[in-house]
Amino acid sequence: MSAPDEPNGAPADNRPERSGGKLPERLFEAGTEWLRAGGEASDVVLSSRARIARNLAGQLFVHKAAPTDLRLVLEACRDVLESIPLGARNTWLELHESPAVERSLLLERHLISSQFAKGKLGPKRRSNDWPRAVIFGLPDERSAVMVNEEDHLRLQVIRSGLALREAWAEADAIDDRIEAGLDYAFSPRLGYLTACPTNVGTGVRFSVMLHLPGLRMAGEIEKVKHAAADMSLAVRGFYGEGSEAFGDFYQLSNQTTLGKSEAQLLDELAEKILPEVIEYERQSRQRLLEKRRWQLEDTVHRAIGVLHHARLLGVDETMKLLSIVRLGVCLGVVDTIDVTALHRLMLLVQPTHLQQAAGKNLAQDGRKRERARAVRERLAAM
Amino acid sequence: MSAPDEPNGAPADNRPERSGGKLPERLFEAGTEWLRAGGEASDVVLSSRARIARNLAGQLFVHKAAPTDLRLVLEACRDVLESIPLGARNTWLELHESPAVERSLLLERHLISSQFAKGKLGPKRRSNDWPRAVIFGLPDERSAVMVNEEDHLRLQVIRSGLALREAWAEADAIDDRIEAGLDYAFSPRLGYLTACPTNVGTGVRFSVMLHLPGLRMAGEIEKVKHAAADMSLAVRGFYGEGSEAFGDFYQLSNQTTLGKSEAQLLDELAEKILPEVIEYERQSRQRLLEKRRWQLEDTVHRAIGVLHHARLLGVDETMKLLSIVRLGVCLGVVDTIDVTALHRLMLLVQPTHLQQAAGKNLAQDGRKRERARAVRERLAAM
């Protein structure tokens, strides 16, 4: 690997520059693309995400592989991924070496999955026995790749608002660059091979994070879920698979990728299903505004009152309150608060971000107090 | 009745000057003694009241009498009552002639009973068939006499805080002056005769309006009620008999007057029972402060938040919130609000006072909006 023709005679390393391996300081204070509160239909769509699952040819799937195998995958992937700019600069973090608080911070920022953060791969494997990493682009954390999650590679590109095509184009371009450096497991008959059969084929999953307070207040969320299930769409919570809806935020995604091209999946979601859901939510909101204006104003202002005055705030309640205030801002019922600031608050009130900002570990009661204090302080500054 | 020796030859009237018969304008904006927030133990005791029931000798009890009989009683009583100063000036109001809104205003000010306000005497008698009046002293409304309520005369004297002896002394003095002008129904064996046997004897009832949020939060209110029942005490709501507890305010009163002297009743209540209840409530509050300080502060500040921000407020909820804020003020958890202002708000948010202050009749929804607006405005001015 040495390059004797280097002028200064130092051993050259033609591998791309490595990105530190440490969590950037004060990451918790930066904004992320998915909370930017911009883009099309951002009154209803928080963010759009394209995710691609890939595996390396000739390597055991993650749940079958030994730690030594996974370490080889990690190294092979790192070399290629570090050479692809995922933002102004890349950050590579090896999670089997990182403390729980760091993993939790990444989860709260939607950079890694819940399973990846917890570090439980099957019944026996613990976090430090599971070589795995995430690499993401700074400063906006728009693109990220998990290495050795359920699949060897899980690439995601997130865009604010309704922008599935843009997210997909960007993910597709990154995927091409990765494929130029790594040999993917691919079957001419089935397409890209993945650990879970639901991802076989394109390996692509599209999802959007929707804010549906209007439909929830109108009691129509179950209807949306049933309709989604009929169209093979999954409705999930704020932190994806297995998580609960948090303050009226729901993740809608396609469930199967086999037998459909990316273009078909995109057309279905972006042209047909999402415009309908968005319209349905907007109509519910308009009905609230027209038929129950006083109740709506009361609900929104009470939420502001509690956020301004409470001395103890749990994360679930805070998200519910922020969700209601977000609705009020979108409908013009409140004009003293801006959505971007609300979104930052949504991230700040998460348990790990809260403790990072406070600079100390806190038990549950302490977190409730600190959360109330932080919310009060931020709202007062708006 | 003419006095020919009058210098200007005008027909003289030796009856005392009459007091108008109209509700003083803007009465609803004045403070009343029972909401003055002063006196002994005013952290727990809102007000103390002595009430005396009397009937005229030789006249049928109110529920047996015809309207013409009641009119005679009214006239006889008026002559005497107008001559006794119940305050800086007296106001005489005949309720069979007054509109429902006026009666409701008097009820909200605790100047008349709920039955007296509604004007239903038995199944057939309607408000305008029931000659009845109230006379009270202005400006503090400390002393008042209902004529033709359940008894011909129902005198009450109210004092802020724990002041049963003072209230009793004042009521006793007024009663003596009335008795000097009217012949009371009295039995040497039974004492003063009254329409309801529970009042026979002294005809005296003592009551205190207690604020018991500490005991309610500690889940001990039922215990207090049982203990009170064992001591022949009644626990009633904010508007006396048949009314509900309203924002942790409870009226405690002796139930029977037969066989006990006023001095015995007073000693029992003022020296024994009330100091115990007050101590019990104070201990509950201290325990909240010591063991659940954060929850207490949270509850109090949330109440302030809702009062400051809500756009719709029902009267029950508002009283509950004001009660919690009052607790916070008494415990020093809040220092920006004063109890007297809170008490004024407690009166202002009552449905009729609210509409009087707004200068218009409002349906229930309109009242909720107006109440929220008025509370917001007053709190902002504190």
Are B305 and A301 within 8 A, CB to CB?
no
pLDDT reading at A74 higher than 90: yes
Looking at residue B26, what is its pLDDT?
A: 58
Spatial separation of the C-alpha atoms in residues B110 and A291, rounded to whole Å: 38
Q: What is the 3-state secondary structure (H, E, C) of A287-349?
A: HHHHHCHHHHHHHHHHHHHHHHHCCCCCHHHHHHHHHHHHHHHHCCCCCCCCHHHHHHHHHHC
CA of B308: which chain A residue's CA is closest? A305
- Winning range, highest mean pLDDT, from A130-144, A248-262, B10-24, B125-139: A130-144
Q: Which residues of A touch B305 (CB under 8 A)?
A: 302, 305-310
Cis peptide bond N-terminal to A139, omega within 30: yes
Residues near B113 by Cβ (< 8 Å), separated by ≥ 6? Answer: B107, B146, B149, B154, B240, B241
Q: What is the pLDDT of residues B230-271, one digit of tens each?
A: 888 888 887 766 666 678 999 999 876 667 788 888 998 998
Chain A residue nearest residue B313, CA to CA:
A298
B364 interface with A at CB cutoff 8 Å: no
Share of chain A above pLDDT 70, in %: 88
CA distance B104 to B275: 34
- Taking an 8 Å cut-off on Cβ atoms, the answer to whether A306 and B304 are in contact is no
pLDDT of residue A84: 97
Using N-to-C axis directions, what is the helix angle for B351-358 and B364-381, rounded to 10°? 80
Residue ranges per structural domain of chain A: 17-283, 292-381
Residue A258 is predicted with a pLDDT of: 64
Per-residue pLDDT, averaged over A83-87, amounts to: 96
Q: DSSP letter string over A238-258?
A: TTBTTPPPBTTEEEEEE---T
Note the pLDDT tens digit of each residue in A329-342.
Answer: 999 999 999 898 89
Tell me how many degrees the CA angle B37-B142-B326 measures, rounded to the nearest 5.
20
Contacts with B331 from chain A: Cβ below 8 Å: none
Q: Cis peptide before A24, with omega less than 30 degrees from 0?
A: no
ipTM given for this complex: 0.87
Q: What band does B18 get if pLDDT is binned at 50, 70 and 90? A: low
Out of A186-190, B129-133, B203-207, B244-248, pick the least confident.
Answer: B244-248
- Local confidence band at B22 (pLDDT 50, 70, 90 cut-offs): low
Confirm whether pTM is higher than 0.80. Answer: yes
Q: Using a CB–CB cutoff of 8 Å, tell me whether A311 touches chain B.
A: yes
Paired with B160 in beta bridges are: B47
Is the distance from CB of A146 to CB of A157 less than 8 angstroms? no
CB pair distance less than 8 Å for A305 and B301? no
Report residue B208: phi and psi, to 5°: -130, 145
Q: Does the CB of A255 have a partner CB in chain B at under 8 Å?
A: no
Q: Which residues in chain B have their CB less than 8 angstroms from residue A302's CB?
A: 305-306, 309-311
Whether residue A3 is predicted with pLDDT greater than 70 in this model: the reply is no
pLDDT tens-digit map of A156-181: 999 999 999 999 999 999 999 999 99
Tokens of B236: 């009633």
- DSSP 3-state assignment of B75? helix
Residue in A197, A116, A187 with CA at minimum distance from that of residue A156: A116
State the burial class of residue A99 (Cβ atoms within 10 Å of its Cβ: 0-12, 13-18, 19+): exposed
Q: How far is A332 from chain B (nearest CA, A)?
A: 16
CA B332 to mean position of chain CA atoms: 28
**Which of these, A365, A367, A142, lies nearest to A357 by C-alpha position?**
A367
Which of A195-209, A218-232, B10-24, B109-123 is predicted least confidently? B10-24
For residue A241, give how far its alpha carbon lies from the nearest alpha carbon of chain B (Å).
34
The CATH architecture annotation of domain A17-283 reads: 2-Layer Sandwich (3.30)
Q: Looking at residue A360, what DSSP letter applies?
A: S
CB contact under 8 A, B309 and A310: no
CA A197 to chain B, closest CA, distance in angstroms equals 50
| Optimal mutation site among A293, A307, A312, interface B, most CBs of chain B within 10 A | A312
